[in-house]
């Protein structure tokens, strides 16, 4: 398993590197960095006296540590891959109990009031409880109950594509959002100007807005995040009261609140409204950008590899014929389409460096000392390339048709933090891929061919 031991154990460094510091902010930064350097040199003495050393890594600079080594442009996963070849080890699974913490993002948790989100929670009782609840809704067996909704919105996508093919990016986001919102809240999503879609979409930080200050952004985020949690939830409550609620995760939780309270931990931990709001809101928040990006990778691959597109269309035609649309019932008979979906996740994992895990307590691996607070990032991009043989850069679904080939699981993260929405994501990807390829040919704009170097680095690439 590949991973990157991140630098100097200061969880704030990654946050700092993406923020533009000016004048006074620089002064604050260097002052605190100086204090941290002093602190680190003291703790360094403690473990070097025991014959231990820090894991190998790029040499650190005075005051800035390894901050300047973090590549901000290009393809950072390639730099981390070079580091991994020298520094790799096994951590997330075997030592998952201590390598599953998160760093507390001040912007998201304190200023943006995102501390209810399980993505940022430390791995405590509350986090375990939230994950167990999500499992009921997003686990492998729970998927059957969402498939009708997913099929319905895949057809909405086809209708939108027929009307305006060049809007394929916005149509895909709309369809994925509708699938997630309808299965979670039972809300019927309008094709245009849906009020619930507008509410949840606004919860994304408006970082593009020129002149927006850090504080303004945080205040705005707070308002939209509260709306994301409260408004779709309030709509379900109102529908339940009026007797018009469609079955959904939220409605079933609200209806069975009392009985669930008795069965969970013998009633020690309540399923209150706050909990229902938090776990349902995180589904949209964590699921939309990631799944949308995977669908974008699919479109890109189909443009670049027309022979693969053709092979997939032939399978669909042979299995489904010409009088119907693909459904989940066809899935078992569509091995090439299933393999193509896996190849989308492997070829360009949309979260190429996963989400940072943080070490909860000091640890020793061999002769190395890993200080508490060290950030560990799985190099998922590298993981999904490494194990699949020499033609790793090629988009080749056939690799997944061979016996015993591993699924591209690192695309969904690691250990105890592995993405709880992965089955939902795979289901959405399948129905979109099958429906779109069955109905349309995807062709590039010859004058404006996409370039593989145009992938933008970031949590989602």
Q: Which is nearer to ligand HEM, 95 or 357 (CB)?
A: 357
CB of 355 to ligand HEM, least distance (A): 4
Q: How far is the CB of 425 from ligand HEM (least distance, A)?
A: 3
Task: Single out the residue of 16, 36, 109, 119 in contact with ligand HEM (rule: CB under 6 A).
Answer: 119
| Closest CB to ligand HEM among residues 67, 424 | 424
65 vs 251, beta carbon nearer ligand HEM? 251
**Shortest reach from residue 198's CB to ligand HEM, in Å:** 20
Of 283 and 437, the one with the shorter C-beta distance to ligand HEM is 283
Binding test (CB under 6 A) with ligand HEM, winner from 420, 433, 438, 442: 420
Size of the site for ligand HEM (CB under 6 A): 27
Interface with ligand HEM (CB under 6 A), residue from 412, 430, 438, 455: 412
> What minimum distance in Å lies between the beta carbon of 43 and ligand HEM?
26
- What minimum distance in Å lies between the beta carbon of 281 and ligand HEM? 10
Question: At its nearest, how many Å lie between ligand HEM and the CB of residue 287?
Answer: 3
Q: How far is the CB of 357 from ligand HEM (least distance, A)?
A: 6
419 is an annotated ligand-binding site residue: yes
Nearest approach in angstroms of CB 134 to ligand HEM is 6
- Choose one: 60-68, 233-241, 278-286, 312-320; the region binding ligand HEM (CB under 6 A): 278-286
| Out of 253, 425, 433, 434, the residue judged to bind ligand HEM by CB under 6 A | 425
Q: Confirm or reject binding of residue 421 to ligand HEM (CB under 6 A).
A: yes
- Of residues 346-375, those binding ligand HEM (CB under 6 A): 350-351, 354-355, 357
Q: How far apart are CA 211 and CA 108, in angstroms?
A: 20
- 303 backbone dihedrals φ, ψ, rounded to 5°: -70, -40
Interface positions, 280-299, toward ligand HEM (CB under 6 A): 282-283, 286-287, 290-291, 294
**Per-residue contact string for residues 187-226; x = within reach of ligand HEM by CB under 6 A:** ----------------------------------------
Contact 374, 328 (CB under 8 A): no
Question: Among 414, 430, 438, 455, which residue interacts with ligand HEM (rule: CB under 6 A)?
Answer: 414
Residue ranges for the binding site for heme? 419
Give the footprint of ligand HEM on this chain (CB under 6 A). Answer: 118-119, 131, 138, 282-283, 286-287, 290-291, 294, 350-351, 354-355, 357, 411-414, 417-421, 424-425
């Amino acid at each position: 398993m590949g991973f990157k031991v991140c630098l100097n154990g200061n969880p704030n460094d990654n946050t700092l590197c993406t923020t533009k510091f000016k004048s006074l902010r620089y002064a604050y930064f260097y002052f605190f960095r100086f204090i941290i350097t002093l602190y680190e040199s003291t703790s360094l003495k403690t473990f070097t006296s025991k014959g231990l050393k820090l894991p190998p890594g790029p040499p650190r600079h005075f005051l800035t540590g390894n901050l300047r080594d973090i590549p901000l442009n290009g393809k950072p996963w390639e730099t981390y891959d070079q580091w991994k070849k020298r520094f790799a080890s096994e951590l997330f699974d075997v030592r998952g109990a201590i390598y599953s913490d998160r760093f507390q993002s001040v912007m998201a948790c304190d200023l943006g009031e995102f501390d209810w989100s399980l993505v940022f929670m430390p791995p405590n009782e509350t986090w375990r409880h939230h994950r167990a609840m999500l499992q009921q809704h997003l686990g492998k067996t729970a998927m059957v109950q969402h498939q009708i909704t997913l099929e319905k919105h895949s057809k909405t996508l086809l209708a939108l594509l027929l009307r305006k093919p060049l809007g394929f990016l916005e149509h895909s986001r709309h369809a994925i959002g509708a699938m997630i919102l309808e299965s979670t809240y039972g809300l019927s999503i309008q094709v245009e100007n849906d009020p619930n879609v507008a509410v949840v979409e606004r919860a994304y930080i408006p970082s593009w807005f020129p002149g927006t200050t850090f504080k303004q952004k945080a205040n705005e985020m707070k308002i939209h995040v509260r709306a994301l949690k409260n408004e779709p939830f309030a709509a379900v409550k109102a529908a339940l009261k009026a007797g018009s609620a469609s079955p959904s995760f939220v409605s079933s939780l609200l209806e069975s609140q009392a009985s669930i309270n008795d069965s969970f931990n013998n009633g020690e931990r309540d399923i209150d409204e706050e909990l229902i709001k938090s776990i349902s809101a995180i589904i949209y928040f964590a699921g939309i950008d990631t799944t949308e990006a995977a669908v974008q990778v699919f479109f890109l691959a189909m443009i670049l590899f027309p022979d693969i597109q053709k092979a997939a269309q032939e399978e669909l035609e042979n299995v489904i014929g010409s009088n119907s649309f693909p459904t989940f019932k066809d899935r078992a008979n569509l091995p090439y389409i299933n393999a193509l979906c896996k190849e989308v996740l492997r070829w360009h994992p949309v979260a190429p460096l996963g989400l940072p895990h943080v070490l909860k307590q000091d640890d020793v691996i061999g002769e190395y000392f890993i200080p508490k607070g060290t950030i560990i990032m799985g190099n998922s991009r590298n993981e999904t390339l490494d194990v699949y043989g020499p033609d790793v850069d090629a988009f080749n679904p056939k690799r997944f048709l061979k016996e015993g080939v591993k699924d591209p699981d690192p695309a969904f993260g690691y250990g105890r933090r592995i993405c709880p929405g992965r089955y939902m994501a795979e289901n959405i990807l399948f129905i979109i891929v099958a429906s779109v390829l069955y109905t349309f040919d995807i062709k590039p704009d010859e004058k404006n061919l996409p370039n593989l170097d145009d992938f933008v680095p970031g949590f989602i690439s």
